Amino acid sequence: MKKTTNAIAPMRIYCDLFGHNYEMTKKVTKHVKEYTCKCCKRQLTTNGNGKLTELTPKFQEINSILEEIYTRRMIRLKNKTLTSSIY
C-alpha cells in the first residue's frame, strides 16, 4: 500500500508565513471588488457588510448580475445628464 503525501506548494507556505498579497482583479461597482492573491491565487470579494469573503460560485453569480445592473444604471444616468444639459 502506497502512502500519498500532499506536497504543500511553496507559495502557499509563503502566504501562511507572511500573509496574502492581494491584488484587485475586478471592480464590480464602486464598493464591490474582487481580489486575487498574487502567490496562491486565492480569490476574495466584498460581501454586503464590506468584509472580504471567499469568492464562491454563488458570489460570482451575484457579482456578475450586480455588475450588469450597475453598468446599465451608469449608462442611463450618463444619457440623462447629456439630454438634460442640451436645453
Q: Per-residue pLDDT tens for 19-53?
A: 999 999 999 999 999 999 998 999 999 998 999 99
Asked if residue 71 belongs to a domain, the reply is: yes
Asked if residue 6 belongs to a domain, the reply is: no
Asked if residue 36 belongs to a domain, the reply is: yes
- Give the whole-angstrom CA distance, residue 36 versus residue 21: 8
Asked if residue 57 belongs to a domain, the reply is: yes
pTM: 0.76
Q: Is the dihedral of CA 54, 56, 58, 61 positive or negative?
A: positive
Asked if residue 13 belongs to a domain, the reply is: no
Extract the C-alpha cell encoding 49. 457588510
What is the domain count for the chain?
Answer: 1
How sure is the predictor about 13, in pLDDT bands with cuts at 50, 70 and 90? confident
- Domain hosting residue 82, numbered range: 24-86
Q: What is the chain's mean pLDDT, rounded?
A: 87
Asked if residue 75 belongs to a domain, the reply is: yes
Residue 36 CA: distances (Å) to CA of 6, 15, 46, 48, 75: 23, 12, 12, 19, 28
- For the chain, counts of helices (H) and of strands (E): 2, 4
Asked if residue 11 belongs to a domain, the reply is: no
Asked if residue 16 belongs to a domain, the reply is: no
